[in-house]
Amino acid sequence: MSLRKIQLAAMRCLLAVESGRNLQVALAEERNHLENWTPSEQAALMDIAYGVQRFSGSLNFFLHHLLDKPLSNKKIDALLRVALYQLYDRRNAEHAVVNEAVSGSLKIAQGQFKSLVNAVLRQFLRERDRLQQSLSNDLEAFFNLPSWWISRLQKDYPQNAEEIMRCVMQHPPLTLRVNRRLSNACDYQKILHNNGLEGEIMDDYAIMLKQAVPVAHLPFFFDGMVSVQDFGAQMAASLLNVQNGENVLDACAAPGGKTGHLLEWADCQVTAVDIDENRLQRVKDNLNRLHFSADLRLANAGNISEWTNQPIFDAILADVPCTASGTIRRNPDIKWLRRPDDAMKTAQQQQPLLDALWSYLKPNGRMLLATCSIFHEENSDQKNAFLARHQDAICTTEKILLPNPQHDGFYYALFEKKNP
């Protein structure tokens, strides 16, 4: 495995994120240029790219204390943070990390930073313990969150802020949703055990694996017996509780995890809408694996009037676009890409969508507002504003899930439409 080419690829991903790209997109673009990379090399790239984002606060802190002044060369700056992550993580041989980073620096700026890269990384090794101990003096470095994010958590969740901040630095769990039409958690746990895998039962149809594995290693995954879905996300289907024969709308449906769960839950007719053709294809692929079908619509969920002007749905899943602030364990680049006013902006975008969806709901029907955010603007504030605008709406259930070892952060509010 060539550590140097992995470091340089991770450096390019880091620079792409800092230019505003989503990390998943940056990795996908990088993979398009990879030739003859082994699976282990691709896995190492993903691990480093995500690790650098997860611990950017600490890495920036280290680099600040190791340099006399900020670097003007962004590539060298990024390469150093990649190598510092590897040394901080301690899973790679120290001499290999340093030597390959120095070698990689020769490809940048005619190699003029070779000595600096070598000196900085070796100084870190000498001072690593002292630097790590001093992280606690800087909350952004210690919790690896922007300072504005820390302040907001302390304000909104004073009793839970530190627990949340410690949790989101960890790797996310890999949780499975067992297809209730084919099996259950107890039986599938036995199947896992017989295949050398262990998992903890979360409820009748959910299992959290003790060790993450590729989906190809999950027994009967391609037969539709099981899906990968966060335990918090699995609660959407139970809260909406669709019934046999109901006409259901899944707005903003991609990638289709909740769509499939609704169809596992009951014999209902599902219309799944998404505005992006590639993302809608993912919904179709997921449903094909589960052997389900739905009415797939490439459209803006707020413009359903293009094919109906009548309230035709018994239930609506409004999994609206949000900052995804509850998923930063899974998407650590989000915490650095988001800005303090983003939650307010997305909340303003959600309002007309929710109003439009409400008009397509039958009397006595129910609509579930769902976000993977922990910011009040997109959640409880949105719920209160919606109730103020719609006198025919009542909120029967509100559920706030903060990130913890079992699930990501989610918010749910279930509305029922009064019969006039």
First to last CA, the chain: 68
**CB 360, CB 311: distance < 8 Å:** yes
User: How confident is the prediction for the chain on average, in pLDDT?
Assistant: 95
Give residue 286's pLDDT. Answer: 97
Q: How far is CA 327 from CA 260, 322, 331, 373, 374, in A?
A: 21, 11, 6, 7, 9
pLDDT by 10-residue block (mean), the chain, 420 residues: 88 95 91 81 92 97 94 95 94 92 92 94 96 95 97 96 95 96 98 97 97 94 97 98 97 95 98 94 97 94 81 95 96 96 97 95 97 97 98 98 97 93
Unique residue bearing structure tokens 């003790």: 210
Residues assigned a catalytic role: 372
> What pTM, to 2 d.p., does this model score?
0.93
Question: Strands 361-371 and 313-319, how do they pair?
Answer: parallel
Question: Strands 247-251 and 313-319, how do they pair?
Answer: parallel
Report pLDDT digits (tens) over 164-208: 999 999 999 999 999 999 999 999 999 999 999 999 999 999 999
Give the separation between CA 200 and CA 339, rounded to whole angstroms: 37
Give residue 1's pLDDT. Answer: 57
- DSSP letter assigned to residue 269: E
Give the separation between CA 247 and CA 144, rounded to whole angstroms: 44
Full set of structural domains in the chain with CATH: 3-138 (1.10.940.10), 175-228 (3.30.70.1170), 235-417 (3.40.50.150)
Report pLDDT digits (tens) over 47-72: 999 999 999 999 999 999 999 998 99
